[in-house]
Structure 1
């Protein structure tokens, strides 16, 4: 395999039937899907401008437009969902999930945020470009935050985007609501993990109540201020928060999952102006991770 190619023949055969056959509006058939997808992967893997793509992938405009289309019409998410269904049918998904976020610096070529922007959103519709483009302004500069939920073996299940200064706790219900793995056969999609592991940033009554209502074990430590407030209220403060310390030791899988994502330089630093195309690269990385896990499995 050359340095400009990532997908094996077996991996491409798995996702090729899931690629759209035409652009839909004019009915023009897409050509060279594999070459284009390899070009998209190459760009995010090495972190270069789209204009600097090697000529072996064809016109860079075609590669970018195809990625923009697939990010906006849900193609990447559909492929990821289908691969998760295949993995779940084979019993490969570890349903002890962990969640966290990572802050990535936005390169100056990606910073199209107005200096005075109000109403920054901490959650974006996956297929609609948010007004703030998923970029926030803070003391550390302009940053984007990837909110991530992975299984117990570091494999990505849900990836959402928000501005860098956005809080983690408000994203907790969105991450859980976005977790849905369809069945290959009849039956409802699985959306309830066995337990959810998260750090103190996700410790809130609302999040714990959500997990309790859905029958999911919470493995989230209590913040010191919450503990002090509970003790100060005495019997009215409620029971102490239970924590499975042995299970909590496994929460580091989400940090290790981020390390795998950031092996692609175009994800470790955000170069994309659009949140849609940047998140599309994140989902594409998740697809390649799962393709490697599935291997030659039929």
Structure 2
């Protein structure tokens, strides 16, 4: 196999019919849409400039434009939804999910935004709208972005969001859970409720525990020391400590290993894209490739 052929025939057949045949309504049809997708993968895997994408994939301007439009109109999300539906039908989704985030340092090419818009907030709810701060914020590591994942029990992403690097994890949790929707191929209501949620101490809040309890989802979340001390100071009024399965919590490491796999793409480990929707589109595409492997091996 050529080093420029990044998808197998079986993997390409799973997504081919969901991708547009041209860059726009009046654009010229592609001679090979597969090479365009592989060009996008190659660029983010290597972390190179768009204009340095090898000519074997086609004009770099067309590749960038195609990726930009599919990231904005939700095409990559539709492809991921199709794969998740197939995975659910095949019974390979483990619904003991985990949630966390990872930091990506923003390269200088991604940070040429005006001072007035930096730190202005981010739009988690409407993924098609570019946030005013482009999903870049200043944290201890400088200008950074966060990739938030909600993954299945094997560490494969079910939901992908992007926020500024200084954003707290807990407020994003409700948006991750709200975007969890896996269609059923045989018809019927899409699945939106996992069996349990594994998360670290950053997600230990009364609001999160209350919401999970209301929906009948088991919370596997340890309490931080300050919350434990506060409850103990209140004595009997502090109530009982929340249930916590320390053995089951060991399964949370799948999301850490999943981030290691995701960041094998250098264009995700370091953010080079100015637009948050383009950067998030690449993160969703990475999730797509992670699901293509088990689905293409399923008989």
TM-score exceeds 0.5 = yes
Whole-Å separation in 1 of the counterparts to 2:23 and 2:36: 14
Shift of 1:197: 0.1
Shift of 1:140: 1.5
The answer to whether structure 1 residue 291 and structure 2 residue 292 are counterparts is: yes
Match of residue 62 from structure 2: 62
Task: List alignment gaps of at least 5 residues for structure 1.
Answer: none
Whole-Å separation in 2 of the counterparts to 1:274 and 1:124: 17
Match of residue 248 from structure 2: 247
SS in 1 for 2:271: coil
Kindly indicate whether the alpha-carbon contact (under 8 Å) linking 2:123 and 2:129 is maintained by their aligned counterparts in 1: no
Task: List alignment gaps of at least 5 residues for structure 2.
Answer: none
Q: Which moved more, 1:215-224 or 1:104-113?
A: 104-113
Task: Give matches, 1:1-298, under 5 Å.
Answer: 1-22=1-22, 25-26=25-26, 29-116=29-116, 117=118, 119-121=120-122, 123=124, 125-297=126-298
Alignment length, in residue pairs? 298
Query: Structure 1 166/47 Cα, relative in aligned 2: closer, same or farther at 3 Å?
Result: same
Shift of 1:23: 5.0
Shift of 1:237: 1.4
Shift of 1:123: 2.8
Shift of 1:62: 0.5
Deviations 1:8-27 (A, max 9, x none): 01111111011124556437
Deviations 1:77-121 (A, max 9, x none): 000000000000010000000010000000111112333435323
Kindly indicate whether the alpha-carbon contact (under 8 Å) linking 2:182 and 2:190 is maintained by their aligned counterparts in 1: yes
SS in 2 for 1:295: helix
Deviations 1:222-252 (A, max 9, x none): 1111111111112221211110011101110
Whole-Å separation in 2 of the counterparts to 1:90 and 1:118: 43
* 4+ residue runs over 6 A deviation: none
Deviations 1:158-179 (A, max 9, x none): 1100000000010111111111
SS in 1 for 2:219: strand
Whole-Å separation in 2 of the counterparts to 1:256 and 1:277: 24
SS in 2 for 1:82: helix
Whole-Å separation in 2 of the counterparts to 1:114 and 1:97: 38
Kindly indicate whether the alpha-carbon contact (under 8 Å) linking 1:124 and 1:161 is maintained by their aligned counterparts in 2: no
SS in 1 for 2:109: helix
SS in 2 for 1:145: strand
Whole-Å separation in 2 of the counterparts to 1:3 and 1:124: 38
